[in-house]
Amino acid sequence: MNPALPRDLSCPRIATRKNGDLALSRIVAGMWRMADWDMTVEQRIAFIEQCIALGVTSFDHADIYGNYGVEGLFGEALRAQPSLRDRMQLISKCGIKLLSNKRPQHTIQHYDTSAAHIVASAEESLRQLHTDRLDLLLIHRPDPLMDFDEIAGAFSRLKQDGKVLHFGVSNFSRHQFEALNRRIELSTNQVEFSPLHVAPMFDETFDGLQDKGVAPMIWSPLAGGRLFTSNDANAENLRLVIKEIADRLHQPFASVVFAWIMQLPSRPIPLTGSGRIEAISVAVAGTTFQLSRADWFTILRAARGHEVA
């Protein structure tokens, strides 16, 4: 089990493995919406440098993001400023085939976790990102046709070739994670989690990862903005509860949410989704304090709409 780390930006070990550990920054910058940020190459470089200055050194991608365009945008920044690459960790995902004008051969949106697709997708990500290796490659979604042995074989080939250093999954159940992990060591399971989506706390996802000493990555920690905007009565009450705690602690609202997530013993690693460095800073602020147990459970009670017992 990983020892407890101080609440700072030091890179936590996602998994303790005898073949070497993967370290990601405590907050990961999600690049899903980069195509919408309308940044020049120079602005992308500046944004990346500002993230790194905050201690956010890990950048999360997927082949499909931005209609297969985000990795290329990020890669343009790395091509223009090559020294950035050795100061960061690059994460990507594969396994979804979108209907897209950039992929005219796709006739239906579907999953593909065949060895051929995994390897081809990883190699294309390397080209788009203008790098010789990915630090972490994830299977994006569970595929009803996935063959665990075939996936493990593809991962092993990519590792042997030095193209991918570590592997993981995204949106997998505990059983799916453990089935693949028995065949090849996995470093994380990236799942949706927020005060408006607490299922992984109660469906064994987090329990199973904690048992393996593996830290989950968290997508949509602010529920895609619904924590700020939803008119649902439960969400409105939850928002008031978090705001009261934030005001009392003199912390930003979102910082309290990030702190609440990171307090779980599985040591979740949240992703941001913003191109505003101010939003990244607020997430980082969540690494600097802990909630009291009473405040933590007050948020959980509001999230679930009932007492724990």
Name the residues annotated as catalytic. 65
82: its two tokens? 């090559």
Coil vs helix vs strand at 202: coil
Q: Which of 149, 237, 132, 141 is nearest to 195 (CA)?
A: 237
- Phi and psi at 218, nearest 5°, equal -120, 120
**Cα distances (Å, whole numbers) of residue 183 to 17, 153, 161:** 14, 9, 18
How far from 302 is each of 202, 243, 265, 266, CA to CA, in Å? 16, 12, 20, 22
Let me know how long the chain is. Answer: 309
Contacts 24+ apart (CB under 8 A), 161-164: 162/132, 162/133, 163/122, 163/123, 163/126, 163/132, 163/133, 163/134, 164/122, 164/133, 164/134, 164/136, 164/137
The alpha helices in the chain, defined as continuous H runs, are 41-53, 65-68, 70-80, 115-129, 148-160, 174-181, 205-212, 226-229, 233-249, 253-262, 277-285, 293-304
